[in-house]
Structure 1
Amino acid sequence: MSTLRSVLNFFGFSVCHQIPSKTYSAFGVPICFCARCLGIYTAFFLVFTYYFGIKRAILGKHANNALPRGYYLFSFGLVVLMPLDVLFQAIGLYHSNTMRLITGLLFGFGMAQIILMLYVDIFRSGTKKVRQAIFSRLEFLIQLISIVFIACIILFQNDYILFGTSILAVLGLVMLGIVVHLIAFAIFSEFILKKKITRVSVPLFILAVVFVMGELAFLYFLHKTLV
């Protein structure tokens, strides 16, 4: 348990302030993410796991009809809620870890939709100009309900649930880094190298993993030096 906790803290300390008063505790020890970061990266884990692990790898589904624009506007609205919460808590209107968690979850969910929209657009196969859908309306709704469900069980503040969720959040952080780097590599290749990438190869994926781990290690030691 102590070894696993140390590994989780490495990832958490790289990107999170880990202020005890803003962090849930499991087994008497603060977990690796504050309430807000826990929500953000857990949401990324849920959305990315469904899209890459279930929808594509297991079901093999690739929708071609774009979701209505309102869904993406709704996702953007969810993203905006978190900065508002940060502002309101910073000026002292209220102080609530529950709101940090909830707005973090909604931010992660909304931002994941936007990032995946860009990912699908960049790595779409063929020459079709029609933007592929990420999820169907039903899938979108199910994921949103799942986010609400996750918020409810986290708020029970059970030690096992909190510790388990922190593991999922770490995985979500790594997945986010990989997806963002794949997008960045594809954009760099198209506009700088003048070579369009339409699929993710194994070497490209490994390169993204190496970059993510290297950057997290750099952020960890930088944070450690500053603190």
Structure 2
Amino acid sequence: MKKLRTPFVMNELGPLRGEFLLIYELLHFFGRAICHQIEDRSLLASGKTLSVCARDTGIYLGILSSFTYLFLFKRNQIITIPTIKVSFLLLLFMVPMMIDGLGSYTHLFESNNERRLLTGLGFGFVLPYFMFPLIFGNALDPRSKPVIKNTLDIIIPLIFCSLLGSLVYWNYITYYIIDSLIIFTIVIWFSLWTSLLFLSLRYRFIKWSLSIITSLAFLTILSWLHDYLLS
């Protein structure tokens, strides 16, 4: 049985003091909300273990890549989810992670961090194409157009996703930058979904404030539950 990663490894925390220790602990606290944090299934940055595993790192970097593109170029458009044909193509990006995850957890074959990261990137890259129109694009409006209008709407985020994944894998981004980006993406992703609870609110500031607070509260509970179950 693989040893579960404790929240803070002493040889990682030894040189950390003050605000850096607090940031490290905070990042790993929220990472525990959604990840098992098995050390040998996680990537390193600046000699420190990231707060989520390689697969989750890929998923949320993939989400960050395509969501950033959609937010910059599609947020003021009336859009809906991709067409059936394009949706099928996108779903093909998700299949490798499903196979890798199923094979790993059923012990059919052994995975590795490179494969976990790569398949996670493909899986996460797809998700915003379906979520973004539902949250921002008036997907049910009869005037709405598919979020993907041309190949650039896939290629540009895919290039960004591949570049970001490569920089992380080859350890070209410092720990605090990449881990903060991952946790920020997790919080935003959960906030987007919790915003569906406040659709009736007119004022955007109140709506998104409540969404973020609810998301942080939910992640906090999940992290505490993680600690309780492993204690």
**Range into which the TM-score falls when normalised by the shorter chain:** 0.7 to 0.9
Please list every run of 5 or more consecutive structure 1 residues that lacks an aligned counterpart in the other structure: 190-196
Aligned to 2:154: 140
**Cα displacement (A) at 1:93:** 1.8
* CA deviation vs aligned residue, 1:85-109 (integer Å, no higher than 9, x gap): 1012232423211111111111111
Q: Label 1:64 to 1:97 Cα distance change in 2 as closer, same or farther (>3 A).
A: closer
**Cα displacement (A) at 1:200:** 6.7
User: Given that residues 14 and 219 in structure 1 are in contact (C-alpha distance below 8 angstroms), is that contact kept between their aligned partners in structure 2?
Assistant: yes
Secondary structure, aligned partner of 1:16: coil
**Post-superposition, which runs of at least 4 consecutive aligned residues in structure 1 deviate over 6 A?**
none
Q: Label 1:65 to 1:113 Cα distance change in 2 as closer, same or farther (>3 A).
A: closer
User: Given that residues 59 and 123 in structure 2 are in contact (C-alpha distance below 8 angstroms), is that contact kept between their aligned partners in structure 1?
Assistant: yes
Aligned to 2:178: 165
Aligned to 2:119: 103
2:207 alignment partner AA: L
Aligned to 1:155: 169
User: Given that residues 153 and 161 in structure 1 are in contact (C-alpha distance below 8 angstroms), is that contact kept between their aligned partners in structure 2?
Assistant: no
* CA deviation vs aligned residue, 1:61-90 (integer Å, no higher than 9, x gap): 416597543222222222232121101223
Aligned to 1:213: 216
Q: What is the aligned length?
A: 209
Aligned to 2:88: 73
User: Given that residues 39 and 105 in structure 1 are in contact (C-alpha distance below 8 angstroms), is that contact kept between their aligned partners in structure 2?
Assistant: yes
Q: Label 1:212 to 1:66 Cα distance change in 2 as closer, same or farther (>3 A).
A: closer
Please list every run of 5 or more consecutive structure 2 residues that lacks an aligned counterpart in the other structure: 1-19
Greater alpha carbon shift after TM alignment, 205-214 vs 137-146 = 137-146
Q: Label 1:29 to 1:128 Cα distance change in 2 as closer, same or farther (>3 A).
A: closer
Superposition RMSD in Å: 2.5
Aligned to 2:38: 19
Q: Label 1:140 to 1:103 Cα distance change in 2 as closer, same or farther (>3 A).
A: same
> Which of 208, 213, 227 is equivalent to 1:224?
227
Distance 1:132 1:200 in 2: 26
TM-score by length of 2: 0.79
Distance 2:47 2:80 in 1: 49
2:210 alignment partner AA: L
**Cα displacement (A) at 1:51:** 2.5
> Which of 47, 50, 73 is equivalent to 2:66?
47
Distance 2:81 2:145 in 1: 5
* CA deviation vs aligned residue, 1:139-161 (integer Å, no higher than 9, x gap): 22100121122222222134x44
User: Given that residues 39 and 102 in structure 1 are in contact (C-alpha distance below 8 angstroms), is that contact kept between their aligned partners in structure 2?
Assistant: yes
1:25 alignment partner AA: L
Distance 2:174 2:108 in 1: 30
* CA deviation vs aligned residue, 1:160-203 (integer Å, no higher than 9, x gap): 445422221111111111111123443xx5xxxxxxx7x77211
TM-score by length of 1: 0.81
**Among the aligned pairs, what percent are the same residue?**
23
* CA deviation vs aligned residue, 1:12-36 (integer Å, no higher than 9, x gap): 0111111001011233331111101
Greater alpha carbon shift after TM alignment, 146-155 vs 171-180 = 146-155
Aligned to 2:17: none
Secondary structure, aligned partner of 2:111: coil
Distance 2:45 2:166 in 1: 17
